[in-house]
Chains A and B, each alone.
Chain A
Amino acid sequence: MWGRTLQFLPRDMREGLLPWVIGVMLFLCTLALACGLALGRGLERWSAGLTTNLTVQIAVIDDKERDKQTAAALTLLRATPGIVEASVLADAEVVALLSPWLGEMPFDTGLPVPTLIDVKLSRPDAVNTAGLRERLVAAAAGAQLDDHQAWMGQVLDLAAVVRLLLAGIVVMVVLCTIAIVIFGCRAGLATHRESIEIMHLMGAEDSTISHAFDQRYLSHGLKGGLVGVILAALTLYLIAHMAQRMGQGLLTASLPTGDNLMWLALLPIVSAILTMLTARVTVRRALLKMM
């Protein structure tokens, strides 16, 4: 009662649920944000790797001819400005790449496998891929240059849609939270209407009355924010831990950890301010209708 804000509102047990509802909303919001950020970070790293990488495939059945064309392609590639490294993948690595489709198999099955040359560029636009493709075919007829652009474009399109969807979820959750706070606030105004009238009759200004609601809803928003963020942080930690055990490098590298988790600490504050401002606007508008 003697704080800076004149708190004339009694504690209302029915308002006790509001922080939990805000907590659930913030939990969903945090997970959506974390997924969006993880997806963005993962794609950034992944595409950065792919855009400075080319793959040359020499798909010739005859071993001698394949070796000959491989040597010619390597010579051409290593002589091309902008290419910092061109190396042939070992048979074991090629077999490992094929294993998802063909299953585990020994190297000496006699099955012809193409030779793959991994090409590293100094920067994404270091080489004119169309010109290189023509020169490669001239030097080694069985060479095929894959700059991954077609496939990567589809993946990036899909990622953009997913990120848009996640952003939509965040917006919907925020709007839903605002609506819940407005309903809660209106219920509070109705419950405490007589107290508000008495305060008005004693000469209280609207700001005095709305500060009491501000303080109450700031507290609800902060509590709810903490509940939601703690639950979300635990969930993210659990997923990261499980992914690490599964050895899913892309997933674990993409999940927010350490310094990246600092933004999570801001969410309860954002939640508290958003809840308080929503309550303030709702209360002020309602008070203007009273004498």
Chain B
Amino acid sequence: MITFENVGMRYGMGAEVLRDVSFTLDKGSFHFLVGPSGAGKTTLLKLLYLAHRPSRGLINFFGRDLMTQERETLPRLRRRIGVVFQDFRLFDHMTAFENVALPLRIQGAKRAQVADHVEELLSWVGLEDRMHARPATLSGGEKQRVAIARAVINKPDLLVADEPTGNVDPEMSRRLMHLFVALNKEGTTTVVATHDDTLVRSMAAPTLRLDKGEISFLPGGSPIDPGE
């Protein structure tokens, strides 16, 4: 479904942040993305959620070559991708309900169609009582769940999460991961970037490991070097 072939990425005239990155994400697969700070995880994630084009190499998204796509076609592709940011990136002046409804509104859904769907999803992430709260009044875990709900409201084909458990306690971390697993079971290809080795081991999912801009693949269940 998503293929990277010899992808290289540099910012401006700087050194390459990613070098010859090649991998494939099959439909409905679940991958962790790990690696030390500065390894290029954020850059790879940006390529995955179409915030950047690579400097070189081929990226195929849902059967389309990204390098040949016109800028005007990108919104359609992006609507098939859900993103959970480490810092949530919620709109502070909107309520939880309005934040979650945004992707549907962008696609032109009517208010009546949106309401039931958003309420159902917020209930699913345990925020049925906080629908009309603004992000400033939400805890870190609640914000993260709003961000996840926003990322999955339009049933994306690909879900990319950057350190989704980085700002929450272990119990909330487990609950969030259960959400990702449940989504993945419904067919959403999922990539979760994390530093949490315990989390990775507990899931025993295949892992993409980045180090100094180069990627390696660890099949599901492989132990992670504790020294990382």
Report which A residues bind B (CB closer than 8 A): 1-2, 6, 8, 10-11, 194-195, 197-205, 208, 288, 291
Q: Which of A10, A194, A202, A288 contacts B103 (CB 8 A)?
A: A202
Interface residues of B in 66-96 (CB under 8 A from A): 71-72, 74-76, 78-79, 81, 83, 89, 91-94
List A contacts of B79 (CB < 8 A).
Answer: 202-203
Does B98 sit within 8 A of A, measured CB to CB? yes
CA distance in complex: A205, B108 (Å): 11
Q: Are B83 and A201 in contact (CB under 8 A)?
A: yes
A135 shortest CB reach to chain B, Å: 81
Q: Are B106 and A202 in contact (CB under 8 A)?
A: yes
Contact residues of A: prevailing secondary structure: loop
Q: Quick one: closest B residue to A207, CB to CB?
A: B75
A-B contact pairs, 7 of them (CB 8 A): A2-B111, A10-B91, A11-B93, A198-B89, A200-B75, A203-B76, A291-B51
CA distance in complex: A6, B49 (Å): 22
Task: Take A1-B98, A11-B93, A201-B83 as given contacts and tell me if A6 and B105 are in contact as well, using a CB distance cutoff of 8 Å.
Answer: yes
Does B102 sit within 8 A of A, measured CB to CB? yes
B61 shortest CB reach to chain A, Å: 13
Q: Are B94 and A1 in contact (CB under 8 A)?
A: yes
A25 shortest CB reach to chain B, Å: 29
List A contacts of B27 (CB < 8 A).
Answer: none
Given contacts A1-B98, A197-B51, A291-B50, 17 further A-B contacts (CB under 8 A): A1-B94, A6-B102, A6-B106, A8-B102, A194-B89, A198-B89, A200-B75, A201-B78, A201-B81, A202-B79, A202-B106, A202-B150, A203-B78, A205-B72, A205-B75, A208-B106, A291-B71
List B contacts of A10 (CB < 8 A).
Answer: 91-93
Q: Are B75 and A204 in contact (CB under 8 A)?
A: yes
CA distance in complex: A204, B154 (Å): 13
Q: Are A199 and B111 in contact (CB under 8 A)?
A: no
Q: Are A199 and B106 in contact (CB under 8 A)?
A: yes
B119 shortest CB reach to chain A, Å: 15
Does B52 sit within 8 A of A, measured CB to CB? yes
